[in-house]
Chain A
Amino acid sequence: MLTSLYVEGQSWFHRVPVRLKLIALPVLSVALFTTDAPLLLLPAFLLCGALYLSLGMTARDAFSRVGFVLFTILVLAAVNLFLVPLPQVAALVLRLTTLVLFAAAVTATTTIGAFMDEITILLKPLERLGLLWAADVSLALGLVLRFVPDIFARYQAISEAHRARGLPIRPMTIIGPLIILTLKDADTIAAAIDARGFRRQ
């Protein structure tokens, strides 16, 4: 049900260390926002576009991943046409599209495990301050992945119950029971976690 956006592959960008890619993303965004020159933005756009398309996705998959964001960029560009000079609008479209393509390329070449490793390292300073446990973040993430199918099945059961009684399926009558039924399990799950000593308490 929850398949990651990672794309299996052996392209050179897959082999770039994850940390380097995650550092490159904010660096690139700062760099792109400091310039309006089409002579710099256009090559950056073409490079990131080529990079994104070289990752081994079908054209359809590649488009569906970024289509919605690109659509919002174009809508805002259309609005901007009436408000700001044309060269600036062109710079905006190139800059944001470049960033979106690069970000999508990072997402497509990084597994969830690799992301989590980096996040654990990022959280280390907070852990030292005693603010939170990096292990708790992984545990919470695991719980979400574990319970999404259960909660979805519960949603379907509630919809079925509506249908069986000839009731229209309305958010008001579904969200309430769905949340109560789900959160009621919290005590049992918490007890199970503590009983296994996952949090060393």
Chain B
Amino acid sequence: MNTRDLVLIALFAAIVVVLGLIPPITLGFIPVPITAQSMGVMLAGCIIGAKRGAFSFLLFILLVAIGLPVLSGGRGGLAVFAGPSGGFILGWSVAAFVTGLIAERFVHPGNSEARQFVGFFLASVIGGIVALYAIGVPWLSAVTGTPLMTAATGSLVFIPGDLLKAAIATLAARAVYAGYPLLPARA
């Protein structure tokens, strides 16, 4: 890994910290405000790619673990891993990796704009939602003893909000890809 990759990893982790500091976005048609930080996984995979995105989130998870209040709402510390949703936080790194793999595969500079949008959206949905829930939901079920099927159906409530995040992340990732592409230069 060269120094530039290391710096990109650190800068992206810092961006995710800042996304946790900015006020949550409220949209008229969804009652729950959306925290910008929860889009970080999708953004990391789509913008700096699989390997650097995964390392960036490992670094972010390290920041949480050593007691910095970097999660949105000023949360942090080892307690968040001991709680029921610890699996979602530990799963971020894998989710960023999966997002990055798909984005690297489907988005190329020569593609039409529409195809790039589709590629980023697919990557965000499969990595940032499917892969993340595949880790977080069984974890939650194992920790709390809630039957897996109940935990899975219960999580469906969050899917519309997550799809919206994927859409916003797609627009942002495509804007960055057009302005300052980093995805093709693999770590």
Measuring CB to CB, which residues of chain A are less than 8 angstroms from any residue of chain B? 1-6, 25, 29, 65-66, 68-69, 72-73, 76-77, 79-80, 83-84, 88, 92, 96, 99-104, 106-108, 110, 112, 115-116, 119, 132, 136-137, 139-141, 143-144, 147-148, 151-152, 155, 170-172, 174-176, 178-180, 182-187, 189-190, 193-194, 199, 201
Given known A-B contacts A5-B67, A116-B66, A144 and B14 have beta carbons under 8 A apart = yes
Q: Please name all residues of chain A whose beta carbon is closer than 8 Å to the beta carbon of B65 when the two chains form the complex.
A: 115
Nearest first, the 6 closest Cβ-Cβ pairs linking A and B are: A107-B77, A176-B175, A143-B10, A69-B83, A103-B78, A115-B66
Measuring CB to CB, which residues of chain B are less than 8 angstroms from any residue of chain A? 1-4, 6-15, 17-19, 21-22, 25, 36, 39, 43, 47-48, 59, 62-63, 65-70, 73, 75-85, 140, 143-147, 150, 154, 168, 171-172, 175-176, 179-180, 182
Contact B144 A183 (CB under 8 A): no
Q: Which B residue's beta carbon lies closest to that of A115? A: B66
**Apart from A119-B62, A140-B13, A143-B10: 15 A-B pairs, beta carbons within 8 A:** A4-B66, A73-B83, A80-B146, A83-B147, A96-B82, A96-B144, A106-B78, A115-B66, A137-B59, A139-B6, A139-B10, A140-B10, A151-B15, A172-B168, A201-B3
Whole-angstrom distance from the CB of A126 to the nearest CB of chain B?
A: 12
Q: Please name all residues of chain B whose beta carbon is closer than 8 Å to the beta carbon of A155 when the two chains form the complex.
A: 18, 21-22
Select B67's contact among A69, A72, A107, A201, beta carbons within 8 Å.
A107
Select A79's contact among B4, B13, B79, B146, beta carbons within 8 Å.
B146
Main secondary structure of the interface of A (DSSP, over half): helix
Q: Please name all residues of chain B whose beta carbon is closer than 8 Å to the beta carbon of A110 when the two chains form the complex.
A: 66-67
Whole-angstrom distance from the CB of B172 to the nearest CB of chain A?
A: 4
A–B complex contacts, Cβ < 8 Å, 8 sampled: A4-B67, A69-B75, A100-B83, A107-B79, A143-B14, A186-B8, A186-B11, A189-B11
Q: Please name all residues of chain B whose beta carbon is closer than 8 Å to the beta carbon of A199 when the two chains form the complex.
A: 3, 6
CA distance in complex: A139, B55 (Å): 14
Contact A115 B67 (CB under 8 A): yes
Contact B84 A180 (CB under 8 A): no
Contact A176 B82 (CB under 8 A): no
Q: Please name all residues of chain A whose beta carbon is closer than 8 Å to the beta carbon of B171 when the two chains form the complex.
A: 172, 176
Select A92's contact among B8, B10, B19, B145, beta carbons within 8 Å.
B145
